[in-house]
C-alpha cells in the first residue's frame, strides 16, 4: 500500500514508497510476530486458549508532505471484520521505534469500546485520504483523547470497538509499527450485506480482484478466511 501523496510518483518499492504491508502470513519472519509467546500470553486473556491470527500489518507511516495524508481517521477496527463476538477479538500493536505526537502515535478515546459499531466512510480531507482509511462520521469530538507515547518494543492491546486513530508524521523519519488482530477460534462469521460494513466489503472485494486476480473472493468473509491462521490451541469453529 502506498501513501496517497505518492500515488502518481514513480514506483520503486522501498521504505520511502511503501506505507503498509498487510497479510504477513506469507512472510515467515514477519508472521513470527503473531506467534511470539510474549504476545500470546496476553492475547489469551481476551480470546481464550484457541487463538487465530486474523489480520496482520506492518505500518510504515511516512514523513508528511504538508498534506497531512499520513493521518489515520478515528475509527473502530470491527468495521473491517466479518466475525463476532467483538469481546473475543483483540489487537496487539507494537511500536518498532519511539512513537509520539510528532511522528503520529496512536490516539484513543478511552471507554468507547463499550459503544456499538458506528457507520464509517472516507473523511472529506483536503489533502486526500489513503485507500480504505475509513473513519467514523459522528463520534463525540469533545471526548478526551489519550495519545500513546511508546518506546521500541512497547505493546498495547485493545478492543476492536475502541475508537482510535493517529496523527500526521511531522518528522523526517518513518514511524514503524507491527500489529496483529487475534480472535478466538470459537468466533463465527457473519454476513455484512445490508449493514454499515457493506461499503468496506465492496472495496476490499474489488481490490482483491484487481490486484490479486482473485475471482473466488466474493465477499469479505472469503477474503478474511483466506488469511486466517491458527497460532495456538485448536481450530474449533473458524
Domain boundaries, given as residue ranges, for the chain: 20-232
pTM of the model: 0.91
Say how far apart CA 82 and CA 217 lie, in whole Å: 14
Check the CA dihedral 195-197-44-223 and report its sign. Answer: positive
In CATH, what is the architecture of 20-232? Sandwich (2.60)
pLDDT, tens digit, 9 for 90 and up, residues 109-135: 999 999 999 999 998 877 677 788 899
pLDDT, tens digit, for every residue of 159-200?
999 999 999 999 999 999 999 999 999 999 999 999 999 999
Among 22, 41, 25, which Cα is nearest to 233's?
41
Cell triple for residue 175?
514511524
Amino acid at each position: 500500500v502506498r501513501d496517497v501523496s505518492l500515488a502518481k510518483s514513480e514506483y520503486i518499492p522501498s521504505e520511502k514508497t511503501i506505507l503498509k504491508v498487510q497479510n504477513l502470513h506469507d512472510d515467515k519472519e514477519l508472521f513470527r510476530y503473531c506467534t511470539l509467546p510474549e504476545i500470546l500470553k496476553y492475547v489469551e486473556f481476551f480470546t481464550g486458549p484457541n487463538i487465530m491470527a486474523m489480520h496482520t500489518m506492518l505500518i510504515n507511516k511516512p514523513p508528511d508532505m504538508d498534506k497531512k495524508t499520513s493521518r489515520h481517521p478515528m475509527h473502530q477496527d470491527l468495521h473491517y471484520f466479518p466475525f463476532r463476538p467483538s469481546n473475543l477479538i483483540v489487537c496487539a500493536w507494537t511500536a518498532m521505534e519511539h512513537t509520539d505526537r510528532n511522528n503520529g502515535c496512536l490516539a484513543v478515546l478511552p471507554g468507547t469500546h463499550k459503544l456499538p459499531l458506528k457507520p464509517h466512510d472516507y473523511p472529506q480531507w483536503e489533502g486526500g485520504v489513503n485507500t480504505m482509511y475509513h473513519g467514523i462520521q459522528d463520534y463525540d469530538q469533545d471526548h478526551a483523547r489519550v495519545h500513546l507515547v511508546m518506546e521500541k518494543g512497547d505493546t498495547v492491546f485493545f478492543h476492536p470497538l475502541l475508537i482510535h486513530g493517529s496523527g500526521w508524521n511531522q518528522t523526517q523519519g518513518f514511524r514503524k509499527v507491527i500489529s496483529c488482530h487475534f480472535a478466538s477460534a470459537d468466533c463465527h462469521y457473519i454476513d455484512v450485506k445490508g449493514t454499515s460494513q457493506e461499503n468496506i466489503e465492496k472495496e476490499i472485494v474489488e481490490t482483491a480482484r484487481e490486484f490479486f486476480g482473485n475471482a473466488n473472493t466474493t465477499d469479505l468473509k472469503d477474503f478474511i478466511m483466506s488469511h486466517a491462521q491458527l497460532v495456538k490451541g485448536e481450530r474449533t469453529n473458524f
